[in-house]
């Protein structure tokens, strides 16, 4: 069974750094693109970035480029999303999600990581 298990909720202050994680199991982790999707409170879904763990190739949404960094460690089947300086507007639920073989849609999702940024 394919599973994506994300790290727990985080409460941070503006200006803090943060790295959240997503561990994949039940499939060949290096062979599938995996990414992050943001959902702000009561809002819709926004694609953030994707990475191919096999060679660490990355793609970013223009809306998030420069604000976050996606990475992966294929040896431990884990993808990451990190911020160097959080803002209150980063408060949201962040889902990791795997792209299927076509690369056109997200076929498996993690449970979500809630990030709260507040002074």
Partner 1 sequence: EVVLTQSPGTLSLSPGERATLSCRASQSVSSNYLAWYQQKPGQAPRLLIYGASTRATGIPDRFSGSGSETDFTLTISRLEPEDFAVYFCQQYGRSPTMYTFGQGTKVDIK
55 scored as a contact of partner 1 (CB under 8 A): no
| CA nearest neighbour of 71 among 62, 86, 60 | 60
Binding mask 21-40 for partner 1 (x = CB under 8 A): --------------x-x---
- Binding-site size for partner 1 (CB under 8 A) equals 23
In this structure, the number of other CB atoms found within 10 A of the CB of residue 112 comes to: 15
The residues, any chain, with a CB within 8 Å of residue 21's CB and separated by 6 or more, are: 6, 7, 78, 79, 80
How far the first Cα of the chain sits from its last, in Å, is 40
For partner 1, which is the closer residue by CB, 61 or 71?
A: 61
For partner 1, which is the closer residue by CB, 17 or 57?
A: 57
8 scored as a contact of partner 1 (CB under 8 A): no
5 scored as a contact of partner 1 (CB under 8 A): no
User: Given the rule CB under 8 A, which residues bind partner 1?
Assistant: 35, 37, 44-47, 50, 59, 61-62, 95, 97, 100, 102-107, 109-112
């Amino acid at each position: 069974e394919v599973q994506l298990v994300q790290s727990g909720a985080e409460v941070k202050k503006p200006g803090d750094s943060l790295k959240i994680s997503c561990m994949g199991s039940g499939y060949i982790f290096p062979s599938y693109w995996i990414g992050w999707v943001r959902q702000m409170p009561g809002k819709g879904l926004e694609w953030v970035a994707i990475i191919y763990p096999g060679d660490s190739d990355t793609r970013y949404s223009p809306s998030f480029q420069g604000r976050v960094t996606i990475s992966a460690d294929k040896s431990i089947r884990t993808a990451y999303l990190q911020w160097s300086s959080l803002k209150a507007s980063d408060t949201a639920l962040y889902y990791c999600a795997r792209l299927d073989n076509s690369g056109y849609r997200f076929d498996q999702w993690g449970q979500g990581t809630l990030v709260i940024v507040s002074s």
